[in-house]
Each structure stands twice: as C-alpha cells, then as structure tokens.
Structure 1
Amino acid sequence: MTGFRDLRHNHDFTVLWVGQTVSELGTRVSMFVFPLVTYAVTGSALLAGIAGGLELLGTAIALLPGGLLADRVHRRRVMRGAAGLGVLLYASLVVAGVLGALTVPHLFVVGVLTGMCAGVFAPAEMSAVRAVVPREQLPTALSQQQARQHVAGLVGGPLGGALYSVTRWFPFLFDALTFAVSWVMLGRIRTDLAPAARPDDADDADAVRRRARDDVAEGFRFQWSRPFFRTMMAWGMCSNLVINALFTAATVRLIQAGFAPWSIGLVETAAGVCGVLGALAAPRIIQRTPTGVLTVVVAWSFVPLLVPLVFWNNPAVVMLSLSTGVFLNPAGNAGIGSYKMSITPPEIVGRVQATGQFLSWSTMPLAPVLGGALLAVLGGPAAMAALVVLCALVALIPTLSRTVRSVPRPSEWAQATTDEAPAVELAVA
C-alpha cells in the first residue's frame, strides 16, 4: 500500500485516475444495461446479445487510429474530445428515453460510437500516464488502473440494475454525468501532454508527407523487430483466447448442470473481489519480484488451479479455482505493462500500446466459440482437461523466452533501459 500512498502526491495522476474511475464505472453500468434495454424494446435475445458486444467492437475498431492520435495530437485534447462526445451520445439516449422514442438502431449506434471513444481514449491515457508518472512509480500507477477496472466490473452490474429499475434511460443519464466528470477532471491536468517531438517532425513538409498508414505500421514494426515484444504479443493473444474460453466453458457447464443462477453469479463476484485484492497487493508483489519471474508465474498460475475442474463441476469449486487464478493477474499485467512502457520511446508509446492491445483483444471473440465447441465435442471433464493442456502450452511462451525471464525488478529497470538494444535483441532460448 506504500506505493498507493506515494501516488497521492502526484496531482495529475490523481486527477486522471479519479476522472477515469468515475467514467469507467458509468461505462460498465451502460454495458450491463444495453442488452436489457434492447431486449425490453425488441423481445429478441439475439439483438440483446449483439447490443452487449457493440462497445467492445467499437473499441477494437478505434484502437489503432487512437494510437496514432496519441502520438500526433495533444493527449489532453484527445481525451477531453472523447469524453465530451461520450456526454453527447449518452445524453441523446436520455432525451430519446424521456420522449419514449428509444430505438434499437439508436442504441446500436451509440454503443459502437462510445466504444470508439474508448478506443481513442485508451492510448492517449496510457501516454499521459507515462508523462505524469515517474518511471519508478509506473507499476503502482498501472496497479491502480487494474483496481479501477475490477471495482467497476464488480459494482457496475448491480448499480446498473438498480438504476434500470427506476426507468430505462436512467443508467444512460448516469453515464453521461460520469463522462462529464471525466471531462472536467481532465481539464485540471497541469503537465504538458503534447506528444514528444520526432526528428522528422522538425521539417513541416516532411511531417505533412508522412502517411497515417506508415505511422500505424511503425508501432507494429517496433514490436515485431524485438523478441521481447514479439513474445508478449503472442502470449497476450493466446492467453486471452484460452483464459476467456475457460471462463465460458466453466460457466456453461454449470448452467448445463442446472445450478441456480445466483450461485453461478457468485463465480463472477468472487473473481471481481479477488481482482480488487490482487490489485491492492500488486505494487508490493511487483517491487519484490523480478518482473520476468512474475510474468512466468502468472502464466502458469491457472494450470494447477484448473485440475479440480476436470473432476468436479460445482459452483464452489469453480469459484475457488478461477478467483484464485485471477488474484495474480493485476500484478502480472501492471508489472510487465509498466516495463513495456518504460522501454518504449516516448514518441511512439501511444501506437505501441494500441497495437499491443488490439492484437491481444483480437482473439477474444473466438473464446466463447472455443469454450463452447470443446464442451459440445468432448463433454465437460474432457473439455476442462483440454483447457488445462492449452493453458500449459500457452504458459510455455513466456517461459521459454530468455528476454522475458531476464526482466529485472523495477528498481533495476533504468539500467535495463540503458542496455535495451542488446538486451531486447536476445533470442528465445
């Protein structure tokens, strides 16, 4: 907790974090309510399911352009522009709700566009964190962001349900207000968030001739040319696929067995609580453990915990296994994420963050398909056994990489950054 106390003295990070904590809570409320409103309007489970995924679709679409903007436009303007557009979009749903004119096309358009706002906002926010937080406090800063996400996920559903019970459009009013709070808080940031100057930006004519496609490709080239970043890209894509398939398969298997919905819901609640606790413990874990070792441990953490699911299909067993596995995730995400930020040149940090997140998310839509297919083809126990094997194979990706294993503690990152060129080019062992 010492790291969290230290960051309280960082005015700009506190302002950024508070604003986005409020905004993220509003977003989770809306994501929970979109399917409910759509089903109430149409009676279609299919359309309700589509509504639930539109925000994520919009985010994925906008991530790469968002990374480009974060490295080319003043970050505060980008973030305030996205927050201001969020206010207008959700206000439009409030007006439609008050007038009794809420329609599915309107809901779908707002879902996609607010997701695009999030996709534009995220790389600019990460670039801003890099600018306002000293290198040694990056792990704590990203741990706080992990805590924010888990708290919003834990509270967003119940709060959304309570607001929805008042009237259909009330959750959208709440989200519009949270975007407004974010817009106001962003205006209080004192640090200059202008993008770092590039050597080729000195000549305006050359800068004008640079094409956006080449700028976006630079983020990919930077990561692909370095074994460390290549390994993390591959691991992120495979890990998101398998872990999300695991959660899907475990949940569907409980539904097939006829367990009460409230008992199945406790699995997600327990995972959220463990995620919050893990985020609180993350700074201490990160500071005391070499980041490479921590990454490998996190990669393997789910493997032994999944073994009981092969033999028992019970909410209590699933809750214990999955929530325990979630506990280390915030430390792993914050540790390796802050190291990646610390060794990325400031002038391309937005694009590198955006491309990494885009690739990691690219496999997530396939996760429910994989989990459901394994259950349908193999049955419950065999599907869980297959997922255990897949988790072990995915864990080998960072384990076999010398560039990952050799990442030191945060206190030694400065030296690692000085030696970055030879260190990053080490081959996979």
Structure 2
Amino acid sequence: MVETPLHRNHDFTVLWVGQTVNLLGTRVSMFVFPLVAYALTGSALLAGLAGAAELLGTALALLPAGVVADRVDRRRVLRWAAGSGVVLYASLVVAVALDALTLAHLLVVGVLTGAAAGLFAPAENAAIPAVVPTSQLPSALSRNAARERVADLVGGPLGGALYAVGRAAPFLFDAVTFALAWVLLGRLRTDLRPTPRTSATRGSARRDLIAGFRFVWSRPLFRTLAVWGMGANLAVNAVFVAATLRLVQDGFPAWQIGLVETAAGLSGIAGAVVAPRLIACVRTGRLTVVVAWSFVPLLLPMVCWSHPAVVAAALALGVFLNPAGNAGIAAYRMSVTPPELVGRVQSVSQFLSWSTMPLAPVLAGALLAGLGGRATVAALAVLTALVALLPTLSRAVRDVPRPDAWAAQADWTGAGGRQRLPAGAQAQPRLEGAAGDRREPAGAAPGHP
C-alpha cells in the first residue's frame, strides 16, 4: 500500500499549521510580557517574573496533561487549549483598551496560557502517531522542529514590531492566532479518542501518572535518555547563557550579540530540513551518540576567543544536528510505546528534560562570577563531555536501529493480541493503567529553548 506523502496528509497538515500559528503567538507573547511588565512597574525583577510565568505554567501542567491526553479525546483537548488562549489574550486586549491592565492580570494570563501549552503538547504528541504512519514519524517530527526554530526567529522581531504599534497589538495578534488554531483543529478527521480503559483503572489519575513514570524508568533505554536529557539541557543551555553574558562583559554591541541567536536559529532550520535523510541513513543510536558529543569540540575555540563570529560559528554548528537527534529518538520512542501510554510517556519525558533548564542561567552566572569567562566555558565543556558519556556507554542507546527496523521492537500489544517485544527482551508484567516512551525527551536530545 502506497503511503500518502506528509504534505498531502490532511490531518497532519491541520495539526502542523494549527500548532505553528499557535506557537508563533506564544513566542510573541513571551517576548512582549517582560516589556509590558516593566512598563507597568519599572521593575526588572517583576519583568523577569512575567517572562517566566508562561514557562512555569507549562512545567506545572505537563504531568497532569499526559494523563488527560491518555483519557480524553485528544481533538477536544487540543481545541480546548487553543480556545482558552483566545479567551485569555482577549482579556488582555480588553484590559489595555480600558486602561485597566495590572501586573497580577498579566501574570495570571501568563501562567494559564503556559498551562494551556503544557496541556496541548502531550495531546499533540499522542495524536501524531494516529495520523502519521511509523515510517513517516521522523519526517513529521523534523517538520515540527523546523517550525519551532522559525517561531524562535520570527517571534521576537514580530513581537517588537507589534508592541511598537500599541500595547494591545501583540495580545490581539495572539488571540487571533489561537482562534485560527481552534478553527483548524476542528477540521481533524481521525478518531483521536484514546483506547478503551479497564474499569479497574478508570478514575485513578494518580495511578495513571505513576504508570507513565514506571514505563519510562523501567526501560534502560528510556531511563538513560531521561537522565542524559536532563544533564544535556542543563549543560548546553548554560553554554548559550554563558557565551552571551561573556560577550556582554567584553563590550560587544547588542546587534552583534543578536547575530549569535540568528545564526543558531538558521542552523537549526537547516538541520531540520536534512534531519529526515540523516535519520534514515544512520542508526538512531549512533546518531544520538554523535549529537551528545557534537558541542564538545566546538567549545574549545570559545575557550580561547570571545568574539561574536567565533561564538556564532560554534553554536550554529552544534545546533545543526539537534533536530535530527530530537526527531530520531522521539520518533523511536513513539513507535515503541503502547498507544494508550503515549501521552503520559511524552509528558513525563518532557517534564524531566525541562526540569533542569531553569538552573542553566544560575549555573552560567555562578561560574562566570567565580571563574571568569575562559574558565567557565572550559568547565562547561568538561560537563558536556561527562554528560555525553551517558548515552555513549549505554548499549541500550547504541543499539537503537534505523527506522526501517523500529516496527520489530514495538513494546506493545498489537492487533493480534500478542505483545511485541525487542529481540532478547523478556515480557514485562502489565502496567497498572494500561489497557493491554520527545523536545524533546525519554530525555530528548538537548536543545536550546
């Protein structure tokens, strides 16, 4: 049977376009929130809190969102998340028009829209395997990685331009993007309801959540990737922060420092374009190990030279393989996870991966204050190398094959009623909460947020 190409797959296109406009609105709001908070209060601290509100809401929502994604019709969850964004951002437009906007209102909207994003992510991740065949998962997730990079590049400048028009303009744009996503998601045709649940587990959200953690932690591959994702996200994001702060300390103008982010973003887009070919040609385990080590040699020039051109070249080259690493391991995790557990496994993995990211600026700042620029980059290079040893020394990671062999390793009950297991694996007892493992995570490959 000939598979429908992704660009002609109606439901994947709806999901992709819907989340693309949704993501663009989110990036605009993340850029604008600190500016509005500072204009309201004149406090840099409160502006920083406003910028963190959305991330906090997402982190808080991820774990329960995985349970929801495995219990409720995912189409309804996706539309509810998009619709809540319309209402929340419209409330800010009204508040600005009435000259009644307060910091508390802004923070509440930030947290709640972040929670909506956290609710959306596991539901979308659980929906993708339902609308895309396993052989096309790497390409589908590579396209998702590309849209994130594009949103990162466009969101800031667009947010700044809209803010220059008027304080309400960015919020109106956000409301419109969420409304468009809500309309598009209503056109999904695939049945996205989760598989029927047993009566013994219905209603036990805590048991369902534990089942997701247990599934990730009981498998050596997923467990290794989870720990590696936590360490790699801490180290790599600390590198980005430290490199930027070092350039600031050395007196380079803001426009030159901004080119570092631009170079990294463009490289990420290019990496997403070639990711499907890389994933198809290289064993996924080996590709993961290469990604784990990709930043280490590139940090050596940064130890010796603090210059925007050197930093931009090093970080751009390091980011290039990230989309392939993220998409490859995330697609493999989806393909071998039981369908009724996909939402929880994705949310648990994403939550663990995100858990260390808020510590990255703290680590970078502390090292710069205590060691200075050159020693800080050297220390982070050593940390990145130590973290890279985790997947390198794990046979479970190294042995992950190319996509054409993934189907034979699916760890779930197939249509014939028999559990399909990786070669040489022993059958696992049935998990509580099961009816019969992404950015990003089982510990996603590291990525600059």
d(CA) in 1 for partners of 2:196, 2:25: 35
Structure 2 equivalent of residue 28 of structure 1: 27
Q: How does 1:269-418 map to 2 (within 5 A)?
A: 269-417=262-410, 418=420
1:257 counterpart = 2:250: yes
Contact in 1 for aligned 2:159/2:170 (Cα 8 Å): yes
Contact in 1 for aligned 2:77/2:120 (Cα 8 Å): yes
Relative distance call for 1:424 and 1:181 in structure 2 (3 A) is farther
Structure 2 equivalent of residue 149 of structure 1: 148
Structure 1 equivalent of residue 191 of structure 2: 192
Contact in 2 for aligned 1:66/1:120 (Cα 8 Å): yes
The amino acid of 2:196's aligned partner reads A
1:93 counterpart = 2:86: no
Match of 1:229 among 222, 229, 250: 222
Contact in 1 for aligned 2:235/2:384 (Cα 8 Å): yes
Relative distance call for 1:424 and 1:237 in structure 2 (3 A) is farther
The amino acid of 1:217's aligned partner reads I
Select between 372-381 and 301-310 the one with higher mean Cα deviation: 372-381
SS in 2 for 1:420: coil
- Residue 420 of structure 1 deviates from its aligned partner by 2.2
SS in 1 for 2:337: coil
Contact in 2 for aligned 1:227/1:424 (Cα 8 Å): no
Match of 2:424 among 402, 422, 425: 422
d(CA) in 2 for partners of 1:404, 1:93: 47
The amino acid of 2:153's aligned partner reads L
d(CA) in 1 for partners of 2:397, 2:339: 21
- Residue 414 of structure 1 deviates from its aligned partner by 1.2
- Residue 323 of structure 1 deviates from its aligned partner by 1.0
Structure 2 equivalent of residue 111 of structure 1: 110
d(CA) in 1 for partners of 2:78, 2:5: 25
Structure 1 equivalent of residue 10 of structure 2: 11
Select the structure that is richer in helix.
Answer: 1
- Residue 7 of structure 1 deviates from its aligned partner by 0.4
Contact in 1 for aligned 2:409/2:423 (Cα 8 Å): no
Contact in 2 for aligned 1:226/1:424 (Cα 8 Å): no
Structure 2 equivalent of residue 131 of structure 1: 130
- Residue 371 of structure 1 deviates from its aligned partner by 0.8
Contact in 2 for aligned 1:228/1:424 (Cα 8 Å): no
SS in 2 for 1:364: coil
Q: Deviations over 1:51-77 (max 9, x none)?
A: 111100000000011000000000001
The amino acid of 2:405's aligned partner reads E
- Residue 188 of structure 1 deviates from its aligned partner by 0.4
- Residue 100 of structure 1 deviates from its aligned partner by 1.2
d(CA) in 2 for partners of 1:193, 1:19: 16
Contact in 1 for aligned 2:58/2:117 (Cα 8 Å): yes
1:60 counterpart = 2:62: no
d(CA) in 1 for partners of 2:91, 2:122: 26
- Residue 15 of structure 1 deviates from its aligned partner by 0.7
Structure 2 equivalent of residue 47 of structure 1: 46
Structure 2 equivalent of residue 211 of structure 1: 204
The amino acid of 2:28's aligned partner reads V
d(CA) in 2 for partners of 1:413, 1:348: 18
Unaligned runs of 5+ in 2: 411-419, 428-449
d(CA) in 1 for partners of 2:425, 2:395: 10
Contact in 2 for aligned 1:143/1:331 (Cα 8 Å): yes
The alignment yields a C-alpha RMSD, in angstroms, of 1.4
The amino acid of 1:173's aligned partner reads L
TM-score by length of 2: 0.91
Contact in 1 for aligned 2:92/2:101 (Cα 8 Å): yes
d(CA) in 2 for partners of 1:36, 1:423: 54
TM-score by length of 1: 0.95
What's the % identity of the aligned pairs? Answer: 68
d(CA) in 1 for partners of 2:84, 2:20: 18
d(CA) in 2 for partners of 1:348, 1:389: 36
SS in 2 for 1:422: coil
d(CA) in 1 for partners of 2:165, 2:332: 45
1:162 counterpart = 2:164: no
- Residue 416 of structure 1 deviates from its aligned partner by 2.7
Q: Deviations over 1:170-220 (max 9, x none)?
A: 00000100000110111100000000224xx2x3xx244x42111101000
Contact in 1 for aligned 2:201/2:207 (Cα 8 Å): no
Unaligned runs of 5+ in 1: none
